[in-house]
């Protein structure tokens, strides 16, 4: 009888312990998740977005607030103004610079993707002798610093009469875009089952038909990833644009905002930050539309 009573008293205590244990475990897992995931993620987002916030704040601050940190908060705007953006758009050639940059970036990207697609497909699918070494050599060409390449390229640009022309940048940019894009597409073509092409060959399809109707539709995420990479590098490139373009009207945005908005030792910080902020918007918009394809291309969209 005594044992039965003790057992009956022990059951509620065990039930309470069983009820408390999951709650305690849930709390511990939440705290661990906050410390290991959300806090590092918040720090990463803060560090990543702070330069854009600083550019936006500086773009809308009047000059009085920009240079007087004792009176005004450097991280906030007391009296917003559009003077810097108005000066950038209507007193400089900024719209022309954006148009030139967009033209160069789009043309260089299309040219690089066309060349890289043909090269990557030939290396990965045609399997000619020494194809692996050719692919490695193409990738090693990407590792050559642009500061070394622009000297012989400048000589060729002068001899062809392309100096101070956006066409020079369109033809020069593929020298560092094609190697990486080719290497990227080789890896993506490798993830596409070769049996699909073998079936097409048996049915009488040519290599060109296989490339255009089978391989390229399956490789769209890889093509978009290479296109994003090419467009971003072309948009932000500085060394070649500085060396090959001299006239103010033909300059690209990265070079123009630094050379045209700085007079001696006087930096027009409001216009500089406004130009940098507006110049980064096309790339951000481009990424936002194709970010899903970009992620899928890194993980491989086609499985055997």
* Domain boundaries, given as residue ranges, for the chain: 2-66, 83-299
> How far is residue 57's CA from residue 77's CA, in Å, rounded to a whole number?
7
User: pLDDT tens for residues 18-72?
Assistant: 454 555 556 667 778 877 888 888 999 899 889 888 888 888 988 888 887 788 8
> Can you state the angle between helices 174-190 and 94-121, rounded to 10 degrees?
40
192-199 CB contacts, 8 Å cutoff, 24+ apart: 192/218, 192/219, 192/302, 193/302, 193/304, 194/125, 197/125
The percent of residues in the chain predicted with pLDDT above 70, rounded, is: 86
Give dist(CA 92, CA 105) in Å, integer.
21
pLDDT per residue as tens digits for the range 121-150: 888 888 777 777 887 788 787 788 877 887
- Out of 64-68, 248-252, 279-283, give the one with best mean pLDDT: 248-252
In the chain the first and final C-alpha atoms are separated, in Å, by 68
Question: What is the C-alpha R_g of the chain?
Answer: 29
Is the pLDDT reported for residue 304 higher than 50? no
Q: Which helix (H) or strand (E) holds 84?
A: helix 83-90
CATH of domain 83-299: 1.10.3720.10
Residue 303 confidence (pLDDT) = 43
d(CA 135, CA 119): 9
pLDDT band at 14 (very low <50, low <70, confident <90, very high): very low
SS3 content of the chain, % helix, strand, coil (to 5): 80, 0, 20
Q: Are 227 and 289 in contact (CB under 8 A)?
A: no
The span from the CA of 83 to the CA of 99, in Å, is 22
Return the HEC string of 230-287.
HHHHHHHCCHHHHHHCCCHHHCCHHHHHHHCCEECCEECHHHHHHHHHHHHHHHHHHH
CA distance 225 to 118: 16
Q: Indicate the pTM of the whole model.
A: 0.78
């Amino acid at each position: 009888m005594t044992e039965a009573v003790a057992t009956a008293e022990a059951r509620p205590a065990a039930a309470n312990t069983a009820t408390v244990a999951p709650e305690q475990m849930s709390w511990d897992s939440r705290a661990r998740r906050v410390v290991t995931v959300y806090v590092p993620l918040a720090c990463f987002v803060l560090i990543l977005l702070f330069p854009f916030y600083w550019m936006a704040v500086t773009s809308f601050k009047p000059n009085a607030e920009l240079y007087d940190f004792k009176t005004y908060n450097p991280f906030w705007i007391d009296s917003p103004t559009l003077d810097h953006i108005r000066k950038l758009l209507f007193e400089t050639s900024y719209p022309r610079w954006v148009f030139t940059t967009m033209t160069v970036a789009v043309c260089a990207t299309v040219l690089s993707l066309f060349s890289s697609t043909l090269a990557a497909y030939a290396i990965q699918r045609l399997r000619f002798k020494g194809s692996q070494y050719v692919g490695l050599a193409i990738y090693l060409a990407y590792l050559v610093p642009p500061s070394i390449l622009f000297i012989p390229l400048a000589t060729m640009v002068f001899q062809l009469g392309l100096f101070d022309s956006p066409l020079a940048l369109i033809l020069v940019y593929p020298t560092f875009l094609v190697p990486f894009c080719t290497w990227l597409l080789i890896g993506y073509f490798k993830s596409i089952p070769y049996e699909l092409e073998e079936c097409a060959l048996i049915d009488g399809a040519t290599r060109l038909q296989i490339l255009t109707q089978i391989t390229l539709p399956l490789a769209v995420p890889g093509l978009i990833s290479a296109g994003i990479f090419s467009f971003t590098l072309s948009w932000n490139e500085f060394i070649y644009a500085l060396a090959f373009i001299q006239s103010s009207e033909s300059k690209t945005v990265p070079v123009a905002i630094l050379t045209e908005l700085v007079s001696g030792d006087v930096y027009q910080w409001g216009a500089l930050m406004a130009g940098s902020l507006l110049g980064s918007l096309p790339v951000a918009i481009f990424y936002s539309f194709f970010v899903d394809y970009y992620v899928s291309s890194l993980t491989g969209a086609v499985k055997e």
